[in-house]
Chains A and B, each alone.
Chain A
Amino acid sequence: MRIPCPYCGSRDAHEFAYLGDATLTRPDPAASDAAEAFHAYAYLRENPEGAHREYWYHANGCRRWLVVTRNTRTHEILGVAFARPSTDEVPA
């Protein structure tokens, strides 16, 4: 499997570290159901078939976090973006 990094270009998957589900949002710790919400946030995972948004860290490359949309059945990469869009733009 190869991942097209927005900075580095097409790279072998073994250059990246996998974190997992990028669709989760950190719960509000002040909410009345915070304990339950954090349990779900930390431990409960869907196992979706098809397109899935995931965090991948380009450890052996540009060292940026990416959000990769991957088909979990075929490993086809449907989209890649920096997890935190840069505020910097450098003229070519």
Chain B
Amino acid sequence: MSDLLAHVPHTRLVPEGSYGPEGKAGVRARQVLGLAVATLTARKGKAADLARRLCAAGLPLVDAPKAVSTMAFTTIGTGPGRWLILAEGMTGTALLAHLGSLAGADATLTDQSDANLIVEVTGPDARATLAKGVAVDLHPSAFGAGDAATTVVSHVGVTFWQSDAAPAYRFMVARSFAPAFLRWLTASAAEFGIALSGTGRG
């Protein structure tokens, strides 16, 4: 397995394609594109007010490591009074303007749309693959759809959440660390076969 990624420069994303035994894809991974991302941090003493107001406006904020999705938004708790907000079909600028109009002076906002790479991991061997690097219990009795965690995988900081009971997981990784994360994912999933898409041809 040591030469699996020998041809891929360490500075580039692992190119889309199949890795591991031919004709097997126990794991599927794809880069999720087209999401606007912002961080929202409540100002001191304002978290409860803010959450109440934004919930009423259709933006559910739960002060816990949870991922909550509506038609338009996903909110993910990353720390007390701190969330990631994801939106589909919207620019980062538009998302920030929308959040700013709701939060007013009760929160600080930053546009993170360009900062991260989001990878969705699915397939029957997704859990067995993630067990090699995620030191959070992903057994369905401990972690299910709607649960989120900010942690470290193979020395790379990530925020991830389970987006579907199937299971499907979405990992958000700082863009400059994405090549290292994808190398870890590809090498860890290779014994099951992994079909990787959305990362370009290298």
Contacts and interface: CB of A to CB of B under 8 A. Distances in A.
A8 to B, nearest CB: 6
Main secondary structure of the interface of A (DSSP, over half): loop
Nearest to B66: A92
Contact of A88 (B42, B149, B152): B42
Contact of A82 (B64, B80, B135, B137): B80
B79 interface: yes
A61 interface: yes
Interface residues of B, number: 26
Contacts of B61: 90
A46 B115 CA distance: 44
B45 to A, nearest CB: 5
A64 B151 contact: no
A7 B48 CA distance: 16
A9 B61 CA distance: 19
A45 interface: no
A42 B35 CA distance: 48
A60 interface: yes
A56 B45 CA distance: 24
B151 A88 contact: no
Nearest to B143: A9
B62 A90 contact: yes
B48 A90 contact: yes
B48 A89 contact: yes
A11 B65 CA distance: 13
Nearest to A10: B137
A91 B52 CA distance: 8
B125 interface: no
A88 B45 contact: yes
B48 A11 contact: no
Contacts of A86: 47, 80-81
Interface string B74-87: 00001111100000
Interface of A: 7-12, 14-15, 60-64, 82, 86-92
Given A15-B135, A62-B78, A88-B63, 8 more contacts: A7-B79, A10-B137, A62-B150, A88-B46, A88-B47, A89-B47, A90-B47, A92-B64
